[in-house]
Structure 1
Amino acid sequence: MHFEILVEDISGKTALEIIVPKIINTEQHTFKIHPYKGIGHIPQGLKSTSDANKRILLDQLPRLIQGYGKTFASYPADYKAVLIIICDLDDRCLSAFRKQLLELENSCNSKPKTQFCIAIEEGEAWYLGDLAAVKKAYPSAKQAVLNSYTNDDICGTWEKLADAVSSGGCQKLSKLGYQAIGKEKAVWAEKISPFMDIENNQSPSFCYFRDKLRYFSGE
């Protein structure tokens, strides 16, 4: 099986490059991860209208799904591939967001085998699902902050992780701006992902992603 995985930012790519080989046998299966520059919004009418060069994931999703559908259709019959789309839930309603994504997929004339995986509330929830990994990466992490987190809670997830592991916490990072936050998220991905125990992660949305990869790979 070959996996084409779309994520909304570079930190997601960094983490998944480390995590995916822990989930599937990369001697038997292949994967490629494509980072975008933000999540954006599902376009009205379910047709991409924004500039593709801006690389905003949801804005381009109708075009992307149809493009992958045509590409996958051209593969030999014995070559199996699946499109995995990973989105942060943020402050959306999970059931409504999933319904929108499925409606978008169903509206595409040419569509590949597709699986949506939603990180609840944000990708950092997958790190916080493994507090032992966070502590190994950041031995001086604030235990009280980590202990106050409930898995897949809607609570400002990256801010919670920043308060636990970053000097000055989320308040300092927020003042430094979006680029500084993005760089810090990439550092978290590099440092925490190698220590993650994928079998015992407590984030339900991470386990859903893990189990879907194994389902498609037959492992």
Structure 2
Amino acid sequence: MFILFFTEEPSAEAALRILAPRMLGEAIEFDVQVFQGKADLLNNLPLRLRALASWMPADWRIVVLVDRDDDDCVALKHHLDQIAREAGLTPKGAGEAGQPFQVLNRLAIEELEAWFLGDLAALRTVYPRIRANLERRERYRDPDTMVGGTWEALERELQRAGYHQGGLPKIEVARRVAAHMQPERNRSRSFQTFYRGLQELITAR
């Protein structure tokens, strides 16, 4: 099996290149194609999927990962699934449970940085001066419900601890934190949905 990831930004690519072998197993090959932002991904995805559908081998799968941002979660997911169907591909959820599908559409809620805040042990390994009681603060108990931007919240906490005073280097943070993440313990529900989807993708074939 070969898995092609589509993502909207280089920081997601950096994280996936480290996390994917851990979630998929070393035997499954993959690649990551990064777009120039969410709008670029959504605008170009129909053409890209139609082109792939015309020649894609039977053992290839596609995973699309985008930030929810301020979009309606259900509407955005429906839109991504519709793009896959119109390209002639089967998205997860279109058939019976446990049946093969070709496209897995998943959202980081509201942004990728929620996944890093969902594994504070990994974050603290890289940035040990982060407040020890952070996970007990109401704002951080559920990183997917954080209001006002997760990357901004992560930047504030890192700067409060004396890191990255000149601004959050997203790619560096993604690469360093992902190296210590353990998928099973992540508190982000959108990360766990992504993780479970990958497990189903490699078993329903």
State the TM-score, normalizing by the size of structure 1.
Answer: 0.78
What is the alpha-carbon distance in structure 2 between the residues aligned to residue 154 and residue 165 of structure 1?
16
Matches of residues 114-129 of structure 1 in structure 2 within 5 Å?
114-129=103-118
Q: Identity over the aligned pairs, expressed in percent?
A: 28
Residue aligning to 2:37: 38
The SS at the match of 2:173 is: helix
- Name which of 99, 104, 111 aligns with 2:89: 111
The aligned counterpart of 1:177 is: none
User: Matches of residues 56-71 of structure 1 in structure 2 within 5 Å?
Assistant: 56-71=40-55
In structure 1, runs of 5+ residues without a counterpart are 41-55, 174-180
Q: Deviations over 1:141-167 (max 9, x none)?
A: 244666332221142100011011136
Compute the displacement of 1:193 (Å): 0.6
Residue of structure 2 in register with 1:209 after alignment:
194
User: Which range is displaced more, 127-136 or 138-147?
Assistant: 138-147
- Where does the alignment leave 5 or more consecutive residues of structure 2 unmatched? 91-101
CA distance in 2: counterparts of 1:63 and 1:217, whole angstroms = 25
Pairing 1:162–2:158 present: no
- Kept in 1, the 8 Å contact 2:113–2:150? The answer is yes
The verdict on how the C-alpha distance between 1:192 and 1:211 changes in structure 2, with shifts beyond 3 A counting, is same
Output aligned runs, 1:88-99, within 5 Å.
88-99=67-78
Give the aligned residue type for 1:201.
N
Partner secondary structure for residue 199 of structure 1: helix
How many residues align? The count is: 188
Aligned-partner Cα distance in 2 for 1:154–1:71: 41
- Give me the CA root mean square deviation: 2.2
1:143–1:164 CA distance, 2 compared to 1 (3 A): farther
In the TM superposition, what is the alpha-carbon distance from 1:171 to its structure 2 partner? 9.5
Of residues 84-93 and 190-199 in structure 1, the stretch that sits farther from structure 2 once superposed is 190-199
Given residue 159 of structure 1, which amino acid in structure 2 is its aligned partner? Answer: E
